[in-house]
Chains A and B, each alone.
Chain A
């Protein structure tokens, strides 16, 4: 048994879960087996349906996104009801990134969220920006964590602005027993006060993490495994999203390719660590990797081969090495780069496609990876149940042939999806997706 098999078997064994009753235990084990088979390119009993849900669940029960982000108990109740009503092969407990209270207390600059820059009934949105300037690569290389602590964090959080006043923490190293002076300065400059408010702010987040974990356990006890385990990013997206911004990193590909490459290589070990650590504290062996900046139109095939793919590839291989199942969420269209990304060990990853030609994907890499997706949001939001079913049929016939398909919406279940369409999708997959 290789490491992937081991981890999947562990998952299927449901060790340590206190089930509500025998039926829940049976359901859990059936669902994990179904998913494990699909991942390993075996033929499961039927095509699994394991969607991502963000604000669909709150909307479904009549809760606004703002309410969901500020009242976690209400949000959990919405997710629970959704899970019990639709009975998918997974239930999503990960939900919203952070509670609204934390975002406020942290004075987080990289997001607009319901009631804070976007309407109460809309989802949150990321604010593009150059959080690292074009001429700051060298400072980043010389001491990445110093850049992070004293330049980056103050830019993304109003509360952490005082960190700028600290001397570089690497100065402990040469300070020859005289470290104290440094912190004397810091003490005098009121860092203490700033740290206090951060500590208070973060209390909310700690509570959030704890209750998310507890909710996940509750869902498991009801028979629902989590398809989402750990999480990490492609190094290009880390540099592009968090630091340079889309425009910035695009220009870097032309103006400072060597520095960009150096930054990508520098951040790769941390990307791996991030995946490993987050997976280790989750009950599922998958690692979610939302891919942002590498699709057709965002960069040429050459640029994809040079800048985007190599570190992403290494990241996924490192996760597979530990028996984890990378699950890149491949946003937008990757149709012309399917061959490149097909270079992955067989039966050890899930590729979740949004707008790529998923049928072509089956041809090119269906014998190597399990494919997830891709019922279009447009259909789920504005189509009819029949149209949804027709799409699902094609999916199952073509992409589900011989196994290797997990059904989901193209981006998960769109926030504004019509419940009857989601119902149609769910029932159809459960009936038509049985392997005879």
Chain B
């Protein structure tokens, strides 16, 4: 019974998944159990994305279904969820660039893989990255950018991290449409990722199994 929701969600059967949740809530079930199953469904989605069975639309759709489930469950919640997190990652699209889909995918994948993600959004000034790193104590930051203007913007952001005295405490990964090794060199980042999975691998490598 419990497995059904996870797989139904992972199979993107929207109507059935929501119906299941409705039935379970009506039966007086603990909402935490429902959310837990939903999360396991999202993990399956993440795995399928890694294996190239699923693509971006599947992530978007599953995200929508999860959002609907969360909305249904929220009113019945009596306490907050506590989830064990593998570590903290700050993410954002750099200043001057308003593209977000790539960043969103990485955020999604990091989240389903157990990281606590601070998504700063798009067109994020360098200082805002620095402030968030300080505030959260995160040691990993991911910079996203689609246009070629991002090359210099990423460099500026890394320089700001350096100027704040955080460079040796923090690992920087970059990614986006035109990002490659040459840009990594230019910006002073520690690594670049060609896809979301690379972002997850880098985060795992740098944060290990740290709880």
A touching B, CB within 8 angstroms: no
